[in-house]
């Protein structure tokens, strides 16, 4: 796999097991304010439904890796015009957990897949902002528990 388009990280004041439970539990904190549906099995579907910037959305993907307390990855795309099939351009999102004493470093990486893998600086900045928001929300959810 090529170099990630976006890679950001944060350190959470909790052990990897606690972070993992927040990510993969019934009320997953992966995408704040969304309902996450999956059985967490590799090659099985994952869906995210909710509202973003006042607009309802439904995102889809497939679980690519599920290594408890270490790594979770999934493909990800947004439904367009009610179409549920994977578009020509989509991405893979990977969360990597690394213990750091009583803390956990969480690194989120986005890899573009499909036919169009290059993005412009403005789009990259938007992805970085969105994923930073996601990681911050995960951190807050874990540390507030």
Domain spans of the chain, in order of start: 10-144
Q: Which fold has domain 10-144?
A: Alpha-D-Glucose-1,6-Bisphosphate; Chain A, domain 4 (3.30.530)
Q: What is the CA radius of gyration of the chain?
A: 15
Confidence of residue 145 (pLDDT cuts 50, 70, 90): confident
The pLDDT value given to residue 81: 57
Global pTM reads 0.90
Question: Can you count the helices (H) and strands (E) in the chain?
Answer: 2, 7
Which residue blocks in 1-145 are alpha helix, DSSP H?
16-24, 121-144
- The mean pLDDT value of the chain amounts to 90
The burial class, CB within 10 Å (0-12 / 13-18 / 19+), for 39 is: exposed
Token pair in block for residue 110: 């986005």
Contact in structure between 35 and 126 (CB atoms under 8 Å): no
**Token pair listed for 128:** 């970085």
């Amino acid at each position: 796999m090529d170099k990630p388009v976006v890679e950001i990280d944060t350190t959470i004041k909790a052990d990897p097991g606690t972070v993992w439970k927040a990510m993969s539990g019934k009320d997953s904190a992966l995408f704040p304010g969304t309902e996450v549906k999956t059985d967490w099995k590799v090659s099985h579907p994952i869906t995210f439904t909710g509202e973003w910037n006042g607009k309802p959305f439904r995102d889809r993907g497939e679980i690519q890796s599920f290594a408890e307390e270490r790594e979770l990855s999934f493909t990800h795309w947004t439904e367009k015009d009610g179409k549920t099939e994977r578009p020509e351009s989509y991405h893979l999102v990977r969360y990597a957990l690394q213990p750091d004493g009583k803390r956990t470093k969480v690194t989120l990486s986005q890899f573009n897949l499909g036919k169009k893998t290059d993005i412009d600086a403005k789009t990259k900045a938007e992805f970085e902002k969105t994923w930073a928001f996601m990681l911050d929300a995960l951190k807050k959810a874990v540390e507030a528990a």
